[in-house]
Amino acid sequence: MSVHKKAIKKITTHQLQEMKNRGEKISMLTAYDFSMAKLVDASGVDVILVGDSASNVMAGHETTLPITLDQMIYHASAVVRAVERALVIVDIPFGSYQGNSSEALRSSIRIMKESGGHAVKMEGGAEIQESVKRILSAGIPVMGHLGLTPQSIYKFGTYTVRAKEEEEAEKLIEDAKILEECGCFSIVLEKIPAQLAKRVAEEVNIPIIGIGAGPYVDGQVLVLHDLLGITTEFKPRFLRQYARLDTIITEAIGKYVGDVKNVDFPNEDEMY
Ligand code: KIV
């Protein structure tokens, strides 16, 4: 018996590198559940990040710190079930890799095995190099994350632009080179000056994906709910809102409530 599979070309880390090499920009967005991931994937996004921003967006926490490995796996497995084309990268949450490289490897293996994700992402530079190498030795692709690293918010105290000073900028470039040498397939740069991000994208060969890092990088990432205007309290300068779904959703639900109260719903066609 032959097995018929739809001929959909899946995005791989190798293809992301090819995109950088030929100057094609990479599009990346977050998703945390099946229904949204299906729409994001169908829209042609190259990479879906199951970000630990799920802690804010899905669970309503103030920071990304509380989300657990089990919760990340739950979100990621729902996303993976929906996706046919995009590369799915899963954040390793706070407290699941900082201890040592064995812990980092164990958490990554759980993510890959239990969610079916295609790669993991970790925050940090030189301090995570041993973990990156160890995870890679198990055949798991790793994305780095530098600049504003939300898991360290209590160390920095603010969400302001990072690496504006020379010393921090040089350290960031150094960290990016270390992550490349360790074998990371890509790096996210969050909220840093555009000219610094440009330097990083020029000085390292792997794809650099920016969020609040200007246009001179190899691709862009945003949080889905921010782009769609579902979360409206958060509106940093780097965010472009492509829709105001908050209004569309509340108006639609408001109409439903009105119809129920007025016994307008259900009508004759909507009953058995
Ligand atoms: O968790 C997340 O959504 C992220 C992006 C902001 C890059 O790490």
Residues 48/91, Cβ–Cβ less than 8 Å:
no
Distance 65 CA to ligand 1 centre (A): 13
Helices (H), 69-165: 69-82, 101-115, 129-137, 153-156
Residue 20 identity (one-letter amino acid): K
Least confident of 8-17, 48-57, 79-88: 8-17
Ligand 1 centroid–CA 170 distance in Å is 23
Rounded CA gap, 131 and 111, in Å? 15
Is 168 known to be catalytic? no
Ligand 1, atom 1: closest residue by C-alpha = 51
pLDDT mean across residues, the chain: 96
Q: Residue 267, Cβ neighbours under 10 Å: how many?
A: 9
Please tell me the residue having the least CA distance from ligand 1 atom 4. 51
User: H or E element: which one contains 261?
Assistant: helix 245-261
Position in ligand 1 atom list of the atom nearest CA 209: 7
**Residue closest to 47 by CA, chosen among 9, 85, 7, 6:** 85
| Mean local confidence (pLDDT), 161-171 | 97
Cα angle value 28/32/38 (rounded, 5°): 70
Q: Which of 91, 122, 123 for mutating ligand 1's site (highest number of atoms within 8 Å of CB)?
A: 91
SS (H, E, C) 121-142: ECCECHHHHHHHHHHHHCCCCE
Going from the Cα of 255 to the center of ligand 1, the distance in angstroms, rounded, reads 34
Q: Which atom of ligand 1 is nearest to the CA of 123?
A: 8
Distance 52 CA to ligand 1 centre (A): 6
Distances in Å between the Cα of 41 and the Cα atoms of 85, 89, 246, 253 are 6, 13, 22, 26
pLDDT over 70, % of the chain: 97
Atom 2 of ligand 1, residue of closest alpha carbon? 51
Q: What is the pLDDT of residue 1?
A: 46
By the 8 A CB rule, do 81 and 51 touch? no
Q: In the chain, pLDDT over 90 holds for what percent of residues?
A: 95
- Which of 130, 180, 181, 190 is labelled catalytic? 190
- CA neighbours within 13 Å on the CB side: how many for 239? 18
Q: What is the DSSP string of 20-45?
A: HHHTPPEEEEE--SHHHHHHHHHTT-
CB-based pocket (< 6 A), ligand 1: 30, 49, 51-53, 91, 188, 190, 211, 221, 223
Encode pLDDT of 109-157 as tens digits: 999 999 999 999 999 999 999 999 999 999 999 999 999 999 999 999 9
Q: Which amino acid is at 228?
A: L
pTM summary value: 0.96
Options 3.20.20.120, 3.30.1330.10, 3.20.20.60, 2.40.50.840; CATH for 13-241 is 3.20.20.60
The answer to whether residue 6 scores a pLDDT higher than 90 is no
Q: Domain ranges for the chain, please list them.
A: 13-241, 245-272
* pLDDT class of 234 with cuts at 50, 70, 90: confident
Torsions phi, psi for 211 (to 5 deg): -140, 110
> Is the pLDDT reported for residue 204 higher than 60?
yes
Output the CA 221–ligand 1 centroid distance in Å: 8
64-114 pLDDT, tens digit each = 999 999 999 999 999 999 999 999 999 999 999 999 999 999 999 999 999
